[in-house]
Amino acid sequence: MVNNYNVQHLLRVPEVTTGTETMTEIEEARPLQKESAGTKVHPELASNKKKNPLAIALASILALGCSIGGYLWWQHASSVEETDDAFISGRVHQLSARVAGTVTELLVDDNQHVKQGTALLRVDPKDLEISLATAKAAAAQAELKTYEVQSNIVANQRQAEAREFEAQSAVASANAGVDKAKAMLSETKLGVALAATAIKQREAELTRCIADFDRYQSLVQDRAATTQSFERARQDKEVAEAGLQAAHEAHKQAKARVHQAMQAVADAQSDVIRAKGAAQSAAAAKAEMEMSKRNLSVQEAAAQKAKSEMNNAQTQLSYTSVIAPVTGRIGHRTVEIGQHIERGQALMSIVSDDKWVVANFKETQLSKMRPGQKVDIKIDAFPNAHITGKVDSISPASGAQFALLPPDNATGNFTKVVQRVPVKIVLDPESLKGYEALLAPGMSVIPTIHLTH
């Protein structure tokens, strides 16, 4: 048995008064203290006493390893940032009906992968086909009506131009006739004046001849002139009388020609009035043609409206086929064959193949975080997968600011809460091989961002 006193004495550590003594000096002092006490040491305790230097060395190595490990851990912890408030995100495209009708074909199943442009379902198109046929007929009728109005405008325009030209020619000809008639009237008036002058000359000649006749008649009675002179005077008188009668007849004819010229002037003026009336009628036809042009604009607008309605009916008919807008997987399908759907009703969703990670880091973790830094991602659903990525961008505001009811710290008592800011992390396509179809938006991940990269 081991003496309890000796064991307690051996295990007791001597008091150290200074901080400069080494472990070797302390070990050397222990035997001296024990020998001076005059006690006996058990052999096993003596052997354990000899092993203390090795234990001390091991303890020193362990302490050094712990120090190095702590330093390395501190260095690693200061060069990375991670959070468990992160999840996979992606584009979820909700598809809805654009026309009402009955579903006749359902071409996809739940969770099926589809490519962009693939037909997903079809709605009964009969009603919309009838609407399209009606719209096409209305558009064709409006187009024919427009063509008819255009043809009438062209014909009326040519006719109006011809009538206007004829009216202008008639006015010019009538004005020329008036001028000619006025010239003839002036000429006939001059003839009347000349005839009146001729009458005066003939009257003077007749007066002279009568005087000669009376004188020669007296001379012949008095046997102062020959009978031959008397006969010659008588003949001159008869000629003068005939000349005067002819002058009077010419004067009458000149007056008649004046009346005729005046009537010609009146007729020419009437022709001018008629020609001007024709010109006014041509102008009215031209104005009517301008009105027809405005009617053509109205008809063209109606034709364009009918064409737009036809295009709308054709577009509505194309909506009977629901097409995949992106490449992805079908999810949340709520429609079946034979179901009557309404416009705007949700049918299914497509989750696009493009996925990324949204990590909500604390604001105190963002001091060294920059776009482009490398990220190691651990997925809870696939713990053995090694997924990498890089920081794409940091949200311009904290998540609380985008909430439906953002916090208002200006009222009431304030309690400071560390905010979280969303960080978008894009995934490396090479590291995703084999997991492209397995990752789904909403899966939890733990991203570790290397701040030194």
Which residue carries 């598809």 as its tokens? 95
The token duo for 287 is 């104005």
For the domain made up of 127-318, give the CATH fold. Answer: Helix Hairpins (1.10.287)
Alpha-carbon dihedral 235, 240, 241, 245, rounded to 10 degrees: 140
Model confidence at 226: pLDDT above 80: no
DSSP state of 365: G
CATH 3.40.50.720 fits 86-124+327-450, yes or no: no
Per-residue model confidence as pLDDT tens digits over 133-159: 999 999 999 999 888 888 877 777 777
| Percent share of the chain, pLDDT over 90 | 39
Residue 35 pLDDT grade (very low, low, confident, very high; cuts 50, 70, 90): very low
Same fold flag, 86-124+327-450 and 127-318 = no
83-92, 220-229, 290-299: segment of lowest average pLDDT: 220-229
DSSP-derived secondary structure for 267-324: HHHHHHHHHHHHHHHHHHHHHHHHHHHHHHHHHHHHHHHHHHHHHHHHHHHHTTEEE-
Phi-psi region of 5 (alpha: psi -120 to 50; beta: other; left: phi over 0): alpha
| Per-residue pLDDT at 104 | 94
Residue 18 has pLDDT above 50, yes or no: no
Supply the pTM of this predicted model.
0.56
Enter the DSSP assignment of 404. Answer: S
Would you kindly state where each structural domain of the chain is located, as residue ranges? Answer: 4-67, 86-124+327-450, 127-318
Please give the pLDDT value at position 74. Answer: 67
Residue 133: phi and psi, rounded to 5, are -60, -40
